[in-house]
Structure 1
Amino acid sequence: MQGCSTKRIKISVIVPVYKVEKYIDRCVKSLLQQSLKEIQIILVDDGSPDRCGDICDRYAEKDQRIKVVHKENAGLGFARNTGMEYADGEYIAFVDSDDYISADMLERLYRFASEENLDAVFCGFTVVTRDNKHMDRQEVCKITYFNNRKEREKYLLGMIGAEPEYPKDARFTMSVWRGIYKKEVIDAGQCMFPSERKVVSEDIIFHIQFLHYAERIAVLPECYYYYCENQSSLTHTYRADRFEKVLNLIALIDQMMKEYGFQDPENMSKDRLLLARSRSAIRQICYHQYMLGKKKADKEIYKIMTSPQLRRCIGEYRCAKLPFVQKCFFYAVKWKSVKGSKLLIRINDIRKRKGRLVSRHLRK
């Protein structure tokens, strides 16, 4: 049995596990192969109905750095909360069990955080598509620090939603899996994840809490995390309550930001988020029209378009500076054009497929 029980634990890695029998080996092996050896790996078996629990137990028998927690299924957010209860490291990292990380990710982030006395440090990530194409996502061009309250607020707003003229819906990803967080800050703020059964993107709620108590954070340009697309993605899974969870998220963000004193002038970031997630919800319905039927699909899209929250956003948001495609979609929603929104989604998907084909051709 391997391990380093006599050494101080530098990073506790929390891995929620649920129905990932196909991917769990790849994930755990990437953690065991880390160049930083003083780590704790907490595998939280969230009541997975497949063989994941047994696989986790077998890994724990081979390496004493691994701790397995078996619990009743309650979702990703609560699984992470459970993992934090068992974390003994100076920093905490979150890795999704269908993803993996580079062999030096934890060492590089820990060394940089220690040398710079940071409460959190984030890196870029690589998207691994279902056909095994790798696309780097660098969020900064050079090391970027956020050293005071105003700068941390700017970073938070960049995760929620970018300003209208920015080409992407957000400057920084909300996801917690691309960084490490100082445990004493998490403990001081009693930072917790809500249930994704009530809201989408529960990570942003954790970040609101953490960034209130943190002092210094930094973002690195290097990509160390591998985010893997799989069959549970938007195009393969229909959730009837997706938009309801979007509205719940917006309301909770608003509540939490007021509680912690963060400002969002003119609701600019929250409204950009609402517009983006509305497109996503409508796109999901379009992808599953074959299952819902055209009449029901159109009814669900119209229901989203006429929701009071989205109508308020459409009436107040400064759309003139939005990127062209997003502006077109904005007006389709404003005019309550179900046909127009579906056509735009179809055109945009064709454009993206052509872009991927051109990129693939150039790589040859």
Structure 2
Amino acid sequence: MDKPLVSIVVAIYKSERFLDKLITSIIRQTYPNLDVILVDDGSPDESGAVCDRYAAEDRRIRVIHKPNGGTCDARNKGIELARGEYLVIIDGDDWLAPDYIEYLLRLIQRPGVNMSMTDSVFTTRDLKQNEEDKVVDLTSEEAIAEIIYPWIPIGPWNKMYSMKSLKDAGITFSTKWSGEGLYYSTMAAQAAGKVAMGHRRIYYYRLDNENSGLTHYNVEMGTNALENIKFIKDSLTIRTPKTINACDWHIWKNYGYTLFLIIATGRQNELADLYSDCIRNMRKRLPGVLLKSEMRPKSKAKMLMKGLFPVCWAKRDLRRETEARKRDQAAKNGGN
């Protein structure tokens, strides 16, 4: 079998202390034919200098320095310059298992497949490998549902894409909303025709980066996520009960997420209208998502409680997340 060129695009901003681990994990991949594009998105720290140092040592690496324009803009710039037949997109604070490229490439080279993905990743809270791997081929409709519910991690980083499929469909990262990975992955799955999904963990997702948007409570992340999933629903060309019901479930979920963020930031009075709107939609949309979504019975039981008592459930989630972050910090301090 030939060894096609695989492009790796990394958008980098305030990632200086994570880059050695990330870039080392890239250059030590078991699959060597790589086109590595590191996009320094106007980072104010020494991230750009770190990238330049590695580029001087490995001719597979190119560095792009640009004014800060956000993650989506940086990724789009990197993808524009990609030379590979296939593409992967990585966050600047994470790192890769040695067989990350080799595994996803093996999946995407199955007959008729234009996108591959794994349904599970390592996190800094869970470093155990899945005992068994299981690979299935999905239709675009099935893959869209997998991504939107989501039954798999929704970011772009646990996936490999055919560059031809992306270019033919004109797919780029939307700069309108947060949650950009969900839009990109959904549109790519829609264009792919067939998607191969495996179960092996090959990506390490960091939960302890204080500069990450996911470690800070921001109500605008919730409202943007709501607009994003509504935009995705309107953008679908594969409009079947399966895909539309998945979108409706995700819209309901994001009302709960926005409510959680309002409570976490203590802005119930300041954002009283939005606060009430989230509660109202959690209850109003509950019968539809319980009836039509493909969530498992155990999950639907939790959905029922969440929809009936949205504020209590959000406060419960906040307590659990606070405890988890304390454990993360204790483990981090213990490792220093």
Query: Normalised by the size of structure 1, how large is the TM-score?
Result: 0.77
Contact 2:90 2:157 in 1 (8 A): yes
Matches for 1:87-236 after TM superposition, within 5 Å: 87-114=82-109, 116=111, 118-129=113-124, 133-135=126-128, 142-146=134-138, 151-161=139-149, 170-195=150-175, 198-229=176-207, 230-232=209-211, 236=215
Is 1:23 the equivalent of 2:15?
no
Deviation digits for residues 161-218 of structure 1, max 9, x if unmatched? 2xxxxxxxx22232211121111111111111102xx323212222333233323321
Residue 124 to residue 244, structure 1, CA distance change in 2 (3 Å): closer
Cα distance between partner residues in 2 of 1:266 and 1:57: 43
Residue 272 to residue 54, structure 1, CA distance change in 2 (3 Å): same
Q: Which residue of 2 aligns with 1:249?
A: 228
Q: Which residue of 1 aligns with 2:289?
A: 317
Matches for 1:65-76 after TM superposition, within 5 Å: 65-76=60-71
Kindly state the Cα deviation for residue 64 of structure 1 after the two structures are TM-superposed. 1.0
Query: Normalised by the size of structure 2, how large is the TM-score?
Result: 0.83
SS in 2 for 1:95: strand
| Equivalent AA in structure 2 for residue 156 of structure 1 | I
SS in 2 for 1:173: coil
Cα distance between partner residues in 2 of 1:276 and 1:74: 29
Cα distance between partner residues in 2 of 1:329 and 1:262: 28
Kindly state the Cα deviation for residue 346 of structure 1 after the two structures are TM-superposed. 5.3
Q: 1:283 aligns with which of 242, 256, 260?
A: 260
SS in 1 for 2:101: helix
Contact 1:14 1:94 in 2 (8 A): yes
Matches for 1:261-276 after TM superposition, within 5 Å: 261-264=238-241, 267-276=244-253
For structure 1, the residue ranges without an aligned partner over 5 or more in a row are 1-6, 162-169, 357-364
Q: Which residue of 1 aligns with 2:31?
A: 36
| Equivalent AA in structure 1 for residue 173 of structure 2 | F
Contact 2:76 2:173 in 1 (8 A): yes
SS in 1 for 2:172: coil
Cα distance between partner residues in 1 of 2:119 and 2:189: 19
Cα distance between partner residues in 1 of 2:198 and 2:30: 19
Q: In angstroms, what is the RMSD of aligned CA positions? A: 3.1
Contact 1:91 1:182 in 2 (8 A): yes
Deviation digits for residues 272-301 of structure 1, max 9, x if unmatched? 212222222222333333xx5x74477753
SS in 2 for 1:49: coil
SS in 2 for 1:70: strand
Cα distance between partner residues in 2 of 1:88 and 1:94: 14
Contact 2:147 2:186 in 1 (8 A): no
| Equivalent AA in structure 2 for residue 227 of structure 1 | Y
Residue 115 to residue 157, structure 1, CA distance change in 2 (3 Å): closer
Residue 236 to residue 225, structure 1, CA distance change in 2 (3 Å): closer
Kindly state the Cα deviation for residue 156 of structure 1 after the two structures are TM-superposed. 0.2
Deviation digits for residues 20-42 of structure 1, max 9, x if unmatched? 11111111110011111110100
SS in 1 for 2:204: strand
Q: Report how many residues are paired.
A: 320
Residue 264 to residue 245, structure 1, CA distance change in 2 (3 Å): farther
**Percentage of pairs with the same residue:** 22
Q: Which residue of 1 aligns with 2:279?
A: 305
For structure 2, the residue ranges without an aligned partner over 5 or more in a row are 329-336
| Equivalent AA in structure 2 for residue 180 of structure 1 | M
| Equivalent AA in structure 1 for residue 261 of structure 2 | Q
Instruction: Select the structure of larger CA radius of gyration.
Output: 1
| Equivalent AA in structure 2 for residue 142 of structure 1 | K
| Equivalent AA in structure 2 for residue 301 of structure 1 | Y
SS in 1 for 2:8: strand
Q: Which residue of 1 aligns with 2:334?
A: none
Cα distance between partner residues in 1 of 2:242 and 2:100: 36
Residue 89 to residue 304, structure 1, CA distance change in 2 (3 Å): same
Q: Which residue of 1 aligns with 2:331?
A: none
Residue 343 to residue 89, structure 1, CA distance change in 2 (3 Å): closer
Is 1:11 the equivalent of 2:6?
yes
Contact 1:10 1:90 in 2 (8 A): yes
